[in-house]
Amino acid sequence: MLNLKYSIERAVGGLGLLLLIASNAVAESPWSAGVHFDRGSVDGWVQVRENAQEGTRLHLSSDLGIRSAPTIDLDLAYHFSEKKQLTFTVGTTILRGSESQPGLVYFDESSYPPGTQLRSDPLFYHIRLTYRQTIWTPSRGGLNLLAGLEYDYLNFTTQGVDSSGMVDKQGEDFWKQELPVPFVGVDARYRPSERWSFNASSTYGGWNNVNSLRKEGGTIRLTQRIIDTRFSIGYQPLPALSLNAGYRFYSYVQEEQSNEDGNRFNMDSHGPMIEAVYRF
């Protein structure tokens, strides 16, 4: 019986050692994958002008009922070294809401009378490429420079009974004028222990009144701005697995101006976030 117990203990100990060796080997892999989720409270507005008809400024929360915006991002990163990393991100922000309108609303080519229940279901997707370069590595942390490009696809749609009594769905395709937005930023980390860390990052990018290279009633001038700030606490249960929880503030602005159109979208979102990254 003692020999059997000793054999089992050795087998379990050997299995644990093998798992630890495998986990450390995985941690040295150049590839990692991650998933990010946040659910932020929303503030902002949308306004769409069609020719001489100035659109109604609709607040996302109070006018359209869009009070929260869940975001899901998927990351795939390649680590050239411990100091250089390239990350490709795809994700979506879900903007949905419904609200009764207190007054006459003009949106795109339609008008909606007072009392109309407007339902909004915009499509908002993100593609991001981020290069991270470590510039300072003290004993318990690190400071990184960030640079990259982000492209956002926004098609803002609303549906309701219009002034003619017909159910009408309108969509403003902001994506047709969008350009990839360059951004820069910093990323900092402090490790009080091997497993725990405190993380902070912030990026800023944009265009200001540039030629969008598109024409619709004349040249379309484009302004875009993106701010992404995050604070989190990290826990590393395994060398290959990192978990983070914290807070994110995200701001997106897009404005288009031409003789025919005048379209504006401003959105701020802030709230809790969670992340998981696995190196494989």
**Domains of the chain as residue ranges with CATH:** 30-279 (2.40.128.90)
Residue 22: predicted pLDDT: 43
CA pair distance 67, 73, nearest whole angstrom: 20
User: What's the pLDDT at 28?
Assistant: 75
How many other CB atoms sit within 10 Å of the CB of residue 248?
A: 22
Can you tell me the mean pLDDT for 219-240?
Answer: 97
> Quick check: 2 pLDDT over 50?
no
Contact 186, 229 (CB under 8 A): no
DSSP state at residue 167: E
Residue found under tokens 């409270």: 41
Q: Averaged over 91-119, what is the pLDDT? A: 94
Q: How many other CB atoms are there within 10 angstroms of residue 138's CB atom?
A: 9
Confidence of residue 217 (pLDDT cuts 50, 70, 90): confident
Question: Using CA atoms in the order 171, 172, 173, 176, what is the torsion angle rounded to 10 degrees?
Answer: 150
Residue 1 has pLDDT above 80, yes or no: no
Q: For the chain, what percent of residues have pLDDT higher than 90?
A: 81
Q: How far is CA 232 from the centre of its chain?
A: 16
pLDDT tens sequence across 3-31 = 544 444 554 454 444 334 444 445 578 99
155-188 pLDDT, tens per residue? 999 999 999 999 999 889 999 999 999 999 999 9
Residue for token pair 């420079």? 145
pLDDT of res. 27 = 53
Question: Mean pLDDT over all residues of the chain?
Answer: 90
